Structure formats: C-alpha cells, structure tokens
Structure 1
Amino acid sequence: MIMRSTAIILAAGSGKRFSAKKKKQFVELFDKPLLYYSLKAFSESNTDNIIVVTSKDDIDFVREDIVKKYGFSKVKSIVAGGDERYDSVYNGLKEAIGDICLIHDSARFISSLAVT
C-alpha cells in the first residue's frame, strides 16, 4: 500500500513579537523570503503535496511572489489562516489529501529535510 503525505506549512502569523516591518515568514534571508526555504525543503522531500496556510491578505503574494516565482509545483492549495494557530492548522487539515499530514511553522528555518 502506497501512503501519501501532505505538508501543511503555517505562514499566517502576524509576527508581533518579531517587531519588524515584514512578517517573519516573509523576511528575506540570502535574497529569498524565509517561507521559501520551508517550501524548498518539503518540495525536495518525499512529501506528495503541500498546503500553505497564510493570512487572507497574503494569499495573492504567496501565490505569485513565492509559489509561482520559484516553481513550487507540489503546492496544491493556499488557504487563509484563522485567528489562532489551531484554527490555521484546522483550515490546512480540511484541504489535506493522503494518509499522513506534516505540520511545519514557516518561520522555523530549515535548510534540508529528510522525510520518508
């Protein structure tokens, strides 16, 4: 039996404690937004699908300036987050396909990922 997996990348936080002009997930590191590195790691893993959960106001930015720009073809859906983290997780889970769901906070930098 082949098991399918979906990674839910949470990128809906407002970054209040971060106190920067940009939300933490969109701050650039080596000329790319932090969210890019999470998407890249999961795109290069055995994960079948990726769902990005972001704020309603950032959906178009994430779609055009990150997902399309960098060609993240495993991203199957970009959905609006909720008021709290658990609301955002729930919104992502409603879109998930497969047997396994991985949940990752986009503001947690990862440069590589081994998911089997």
Structure 2
Amino acid sequence: MDQGSDVEPPEEYWVIAFFKSYSKNKTYYRQFMAAGFYEAFDTVMTFSEKTSCQILWYKEKRKCDSKFTKLGIPLLESFCTFCNKEFNNIEPIKCNYEKNDFSCKSEFCSLDCKQEHFYFKHIR
C-alpha cells in the first residue's frame, strides 16, 4: 500500500512579485502560506483577478535569494488594525509609536486610520 500519494505537502511561505497595472516601474513583494504548488497557484491567480495586478513570479520562500529570507515581507492580505478592512495592494503603514519601551505593532491601510489609532490608543 502506497501511503506517499495520500500525504499532503506541508504549508510553507511563498513569495510573490508583482506590479500594479498602472505603474510598471515598481515591483512589490508579498508572502503567503500555501501547501504545495497548486494551492499557491490558486492563491496567486485569485489575487491577480481581485487586484488587477500583473504577476511577475512566485516561488517558495526557502528557494528564494537570501535577501528575501532576511527581508520583512508583508503578508499578501492584511487587515487594518483600526478599520478592520482587508487590503493587499498597498504597503501597510506601521504604527511605530514608542512610549515607555512599548512598541506598537499595528498596521493600517491609510494615514487616516493611523491618525485615529494614535488618538484613541496612544494619546487619549
């Protein structure tokens, strides 16, 4: 009995490189979790259809250049800490608020959300 065919591939990080349709001069990188090539392909094609971005390449993070393993790549789909809106076609805006050695790890979809977060969480 061959048990090898029933074993699913382990989930691992994949890196995707893409550019926005209206701006071909900047390449963006995101990472996501997928179990095997076909699941990664489905994730990448869904992302491309939802955002109208042009996919340059995608591959397992462990097979990428060493700059990608050290680089803090944002997730493919993130949620804004303040408004809870899903976003994936813009760079996340970090809170970076430090007070009494407390570093806030929140990420936002816009500067307005970051400003509201500052007021309600750190100032008020």
Q: What is the TM-score with the length of structure 2 in the denominator?
A: 0.31
Q: What is the TM-score with the length of structure 1 in the denominator?
A: 0.32
| Bigger RCO (CA 8 Å, 6+ sep) | 1
Larger Rg over CA atoms: 2
As a proportion of its length, which structure holds more strand?
A: 2
